[in-house]
Amino acid sequence: MKNKRALIVVDVQNDFCPGGSLAVPSGDEVVAPLNELIEEFLERGEPVFKTRDWHPARTKHFNDFGGTWPVHCVQNTKGAEFHPSLIDSKHIRIVSKGLGDEDSYSGFDRTDLALQLRRLGVEEVWVGGLATDYCVKNTVLDALKEGFKVKAIADATRPVEVNPGDGARAIEEMRTAGAEIVNHKSANGDPVSWASAFDRGEAGRW
Ligand code: VGL
Ligand code: ZN
Protein backbone atom coordinates (compact mmCIF):
# COMPACT_ATOMS: atom_id res chain seq x y z
CA MET A 1 0.00 0.00 0.00
CA LYS A 2 1.14 3.53 -0.70
CA ASN A 3 1.66 5.90 2.20
CA LYS A 4 -1.35 7.96 3.14
CA ARG A 5 -0.49 11.47 1.97
CA ALA A 6 -1.48 15.03 2.73
CA LEU A 7 -0.64 18.27 0.93
CA ILE A 8 0.50 21.29 2.95
CA VAL A 9 0.31 24.62 1.10
CA VAL A 10 2.37 27.10 3.11
CA ASP A 11 1.44 30.80 3.34
CA VAL A 12 0.37 31.57 -0.24
CA GLN A 13 -0.98 34.94 0.90
CA ASN A 14 -1.17 38.34 -0.80
CA ASP A 15 1.53 39.95 1.34
CA PHE A 16 4.08 37.33 0.21
CA CYS A 17 3.21 37.80 -3.47
CA PRO A 18 4.27 40.63 -5.83
CA GLY A 19 2.59 43.87 -4.64
CA GLY A 20 2.43 42.62 -1.04
CA SER A 21 4.24 44.16 1.95
CA LEU A 22 6.77 41.28 2.25
CA ALA A 23 6.78 40.19 -1.37
CA VAL A 24 8.74 37.08 -2.28
CA PRO A 25 10.19 37.53 -5.80
CA SER A 26 7.92 35.61 -8.22
CA GLY A 27 5.97 34.32 -5.22
CA ASP A 28 2.80 34.09 -7.29
CA GLU A 29 4.47 31.50 -9.56
CA VAL A 30 3.80 28.84 -6.95
CA VAL A 31 0.05 29.14 -7.48
CA ALA A 32 -0.20 27.19 -10.76
CA PRO A 33 1.77 24.09 -9.67
CA LEU A 34 0.07 24.12 -6.26
CA ASN A 35 -3.38 24.33 -7.87
CA GLU A 36 -2.58 21.20 -9.90
CA LEU A 37 -1.63 19.40 -6.71
CA ILE A 38 -4.64 20.68 -4.76
CA GLU A 39 -6.95 19.35 -7.48
CA GLU A 40 -5.19 16.02 -7.58
CA PHE A 41 -5.20 15.53 -3.81
CA LEU A 42 -8.85 16.57 -3.46
CA GLU A 43 -9.89 14.29 -6.33
CA ARG A 44 -8.27 11.37 -4.56
CA GLY A 45 -9.85 12.29 -1.25
CA GLU A 46 -6.42 13.06 0.24
CA PRO A 47 -6.29 15.82 2.87
CA VAL A 48 -5.19 19.32 1.86
CA PHE A 49 -4.04 21.91 4.38
CA LYS A 50 -3.30 25.59 3.88
CA THR A 51 -1.24 27.34 6.50
CA ARG A 52 -1.49 31.09 6.86
CA ASP A 53 0.66 33.64 8.64
CA TRP A 54 -1.96 35.27 10.87
CA HIS A 55 -0.38 38.04 12.90
CA PRO A 56 -1.90 40.49 15.36
CA ALA A 57 -1.37 44.18 14.41
CA ARG A 58 1.26 44.48 17.15
CA THR A 59 3.80 41.67 17.47
CA LYS A 60 7.53 41.50 18.18
CA HIS A 61 7.75 39.66 14.82
CA PHE A 62 7.47 43.12 13.15
CA ASN A 63 10.37 45.58 12.99
CA ASP A 64 8.15 48.35 14.43
CA PHE A 65 8.09 46.40 17.70
CA GLY A 66 11.68 45.14 17.81
CA GLY A 67 11.50 42.30 15.29
CA THR A 68 12.83 41.56 11.83
CA TRP A 69 10.01 41.99 9.37
CA PRO A 70 7.86 44.74 7.88
CA VAL A 71 4.18 44.54 8.86
CA HIS A 72 2.59 41.65 6.94
CA CYS A 73 -0.32 39.20 7.09
CA VAL A 74 -2.23 41.04 9.80
CA GLN A 75 -5.39 39.12 10.75
CA ASN A 76 -8.46 39.99 8.64
CA THR A 77 -6.63 42.28 6.21
CA LYS A 78 -6.37 41.93 2.42
CA GLY A 79 -2.67 41.14 2.74
CA ALA A 80 -3.42 38.11 4.89
CA GLU A 81 -5.89 36.65 2.39
CA PHE A 82 -4.81 33.74 0.25
CA HIS A 83 -3.76 34.59 -3.31
CA PRO A 84 -7.05 35.06 -5.22
CA SER A 85 -6.15 32.39 -7.81
CA LEU A 86 -5.30 29.70 -5.26
CA ILE A 87 -8.01 27.03 -5.32
CA ASP A 88 -10.50 27.27 -2.50
CA SER A 89 -12.64 24.39 -1.27
CA LYS A 90 -14.62 23.56 1.81
CA HIS A 91 -12.53 20.39 2.06
CA ILE A 92 -9.32 22.37 2.61
CA ARG A 93 -8.28 22.74 6.24
CA ILE A 94 -6.77 26.07 7.31
CA VAL A 95 -4.08 26.29 9.97
CA SER A 96 -3.30 29.75 11.37
CA LYS A 97 0.11 30.48 12.86
CA GLY A 98 2.13 33.42 14.14
CA LEU A 99 -0.56 34.56 16.58
CA GLY A 100 1.89 35.66 19.29
CA ASP A 101 5.15 37.56 19.70
CA GLU A 102 7.45 34.73 18.61
CA ASP A 103 8.85 34.26 15.10
CA SER A 104 6.70 31.18 14.42
CA TYR A 105 7.80 30.11 10.96
CA SER A 106 6.66 26.50 11.02
CA GLY A 107 3.11 25.35 10.37
CA PHE A 108 3.62 22.99 13.31
CA ASP A 109 4.67 25.70 15.79
CA ARG A 110 1.91 26.20 18.40
CA THR A 111 -0.72 24.68 16.10
CA ASP A 112 -2.59 21.37 16.03
CA LEU A 113 -1.29 20.44 12.57
CA ALA A 114 0.59 17.31 13.76
CA LEU A 115 -2.45 16.18 15.74
CA GLN A 116 -4.77 16.65 12.74
CA LEU A 117 -2.39 14.76 10.44
CA ARG A 118 -2.10 11.87 12.91
CA ARG A 119 -5.86 11.67 13.36
CA LEU A 120 -6.20 11.36 9.59
CA GLY A 121 -3.61 8.58 9.51
CA VAL A 122 -1.26 10.61 7.32
CA GLU A 123 2.26 9.21 6.90
CA GLU A 124 3.68 11.39 4.15
CA VAL A 125 3.34 15.14 3.59
CA TRP A 126 3.95 17.11 0.40
CA VAL A 127 5.01 20.67 1.16
CA GLY A 128 5.15 23.75 -1.09
CA GLY A 129 4.44 27.48 -0.87
CA LEU A 130 6.17 30.54 0.57
CA ALA A 131 8.84 31.19 1.49
CA THR A 132 11.40 28.43 0.81
CA ASP A 133 13.95 29.79 3.28
CA TYR A 134 11.53 30.52 6.18
CA CYS A 135 8.11 28.97 6.55
CA VAL A 136 8.50 26.16 4.02
CA LYS A 137 11.89 25.11 5.41
CA ASN A 138 10.75 25.20 9.04
CA THR A 139 7.53 23.35 8.23
CA VAL A 140 9.49 20.64 6.39
CA LEU A 141 12.04 20.26 9.21
CA ASP A 142 9.28 20.02 11.85
CA ALA A 143 7.32 17.49 9.76
CA LEU A 144 10.45 15.31 9.72
CA LYS A 145 10.88 15.73 13.50
CA GLU A 146 7.25 14.71 13.95
CA GLY A 147 8.04 11.49 12.09
CA PHE A 148 6.37 12.15 8.73
CA LYS A 149 7.95 11.30 5.40
CA VAL A 150 8.37 14.57 3.55
CA LYS A 151 8.46 15.61 -0.10
CA ALA A 152 9.47 19.24 -0.57
CA ILE A 153 8.09 20.44 -3.91
CA ALA A 154 10.96 22.57 -5.19
CA ASP A 155 9.19 24.07 -8.21
CA ALA A 156 6.19 25.07 -6.04
CA THR A 157 8.18 27.26 -3.67
CA ARG A 158 10.15 30.55 -3.90
CA PRO A 159 12.65 32.12 -1.46
CA VAL A 160 12.72 35.58 0.16
CA GLU A 161 16.55 35.52 0.02
CA VAL A 162 17.34 38.13 2.67
CA ASN A 163 20.88 36.91 1.88
CA PRO A 164 21.65 35.70 -1.65
CA GLY A 165 21.80 31.90 -1.74
CA ASP A 166 19.37 31.37 1.16
CA GLY A 167 16.94 29.56 -1.14
CA ALA A 168 19.49 27.00 -2.34
CA ARG A 169 20.84 26.54 1.20
CA ALA A 170 17.31 25.93 2.49
CA ILE A 171 16.76 23.21 -0.13
CA GLU A 172 20.06 21.59 0.86
CA GLU A 173 19.15 21.76 4.56
CA MET A 174 15.80 20.08 3.90
CA ARG A 175 17.45 17.36 1.83
CA THR A 176 20.13 16.70 4.47
CA ALA A 177 17.47 16.46 7.18
CA GLY A 178 15.75 13.69 5.19
CA ALA A 179 13.23 15.38 2.90
CA GLU A 180 12.96 14.22 -0.68
CA ILE A 181 13.17 17.15 -3.09
CA VAL A 182 10.64 16.68 -5.88
CA ASN A 183 8.92 18.45 -8.75
CA HIS A 184 5.14 18.98 -8.62
CA LYS A 185 4.77 16.61 -11.58
CA SER A 186 6.15 13.77 -9.44
CA ALA A 187 2.87 13.73 -7.56
CA ASN A 188 0.95 12.67 -10.65
CA GLY A 189 1.70 9.07 -9.81
CA ASP A 190 -0.32 5.99 -10.64
CA PRO A 191 -3.93 6.61 -11.45
CA VAL A 192 -6.14 5.36 -8.62
CA SER A 193 -6.80 1.80 -9.75
CA TRP A 194 -10.07 -0.01 -9.41
CA ALA A 195 -8.36 -2.50 -7.11
CA SER A 196 -7.11 0.11 -4.67
CA ALA A 197 -10.49 1.86 -4.70
CA PHE A 198 -12.02 -1.53 -3.94
CA ASP A 199 -9.62 -1.93 -1.02
CA ARG A 200 -10.91 1.33 0.39
CA GLY A 201 -14.51 0.15 0.05
CA GLU A 202 -15.34 2.71 -2.64
CA ALA A 203 -16.01 0.39 -5.56
CA GLY A 204 -19.71 0.17 -4.84
CA ARG A 205 -20.10 3.81 -5.79
CA TRP A 206 -19.71 3.01 -9.51
C1 VGL B 1 7.43 34.18 6.54
C2 VGL B 1 8.87 35.88 7.08
C3 VGL B 1 8.02 36.30 8.07
C4 VGL B 1 7.10 33.02 5.65
C5 VGL B 1 6.58 34.58 7.54
O6 VGL B 1 5.89 32.69 5.49
O7 VGL B 1 8.02 32.42 5.08
N8 VGL B 1 8.58 34.82 6.33
N9 VGL B 1 6.89 35.65 8.30
ZN1 ZN C 1 5.28 36.44 9.52
Measured in Å, residue 189 CA sits from the centre of ligand 1 at 31
- CATH number reported for the structural domain that contains residue 174 in this entry: 3.40.50.850
Expressed as residue numbers, the domain containing 136 is 5-199
Measured in Å, residue 55 CA sits from the centre of ligand 2 at 7
Given a cut of 80, whether residue 45 has pLDDT beyond it is yes
Given a cut of 60, whether residue 196 has pLDDT beyond it is no
Name the residue of 69, 104, 157 whose CB sits within 8 Å of the most ligand 1 atoms, as the mutation to test its pocket: 69
Lowest mean pLDDT of 72-86, 161-175, 187-201, name the range.
Answer: 187-201
Name the residue of 74, 105, 108 whose CB sits within 8 Å of the most ligand 1 atoms, as the mutation to test its pocket: 105
Distance CA 41, CA 52 (A): 19
Residue 146 lies in a domain: yes
Position 194 scores a pLDDT of 35
Residue 153 DSSP code: E
Question: In whole numbers, what is the pLDDT of the chain averaged over residues?
Answer: 92
- Dihedral sign of CA atoms 49, 89, 44, 185 in order: negative
Lowest mean pLDDT of 74-78, 158-162, 179-183, 191-195, name the range.
Answer: 191-195
Element (H, E) at 39: helix 31-43
Position 140 scores a pLDDT of 98
Nearest to 131 by CA among 48, 75, 73: 73
| Catalytic residue positions, numbered | 11, 97, 135
What's the order of all strands across the beta sheet hosting 5-10? 93-97, 48-53, 5-10, 124-130, 149-158, 180-182
Highest mean pLDDT among 15-29, 175-189, 192-206: 15-29
Average pLDDT over residues 15-33: 98
- Which residues surround ligand 1 with Cβ inside 6 Å? 11, 16, 53, 69, 105, 130-131, 134-135
Minimal-distance CA residue to ligand 1 atom 8 = 134
Position 187 scores a pLDDT of 76
User: How many folded domains does the chain comprise?
Assistant: 1
Average pLDDT over residues 7-35: 98
Given a cut of 60, whether residue 74 has pLDDT beyond it is yes
Residue 204 lies in a domain: no
**Whether the Cβ atoms of residue 48 and residue 9 lie closer than 8 Å to each other:** yes
Position 186 scores a pLDDT of 86
**Whether the Cβ atoms of residue 8 and residue 126 lie closer than 8 Å to each other:** yes
Residue 24 lies in a domain: yes
What is the share, in percent, of the chain residues with pLDDT greater than 90? 88
Distance CA 165, CA 68 (A): 19
Residue 205 lies in a domain: no
Measured in Å, residue 206 CA sits from the centre of ligand 2 at 46
Query: Directed axis angle between helix 137-145 and helix 166-177, to 10°?
Result: 10
Residue 90 lies in a domain: yes
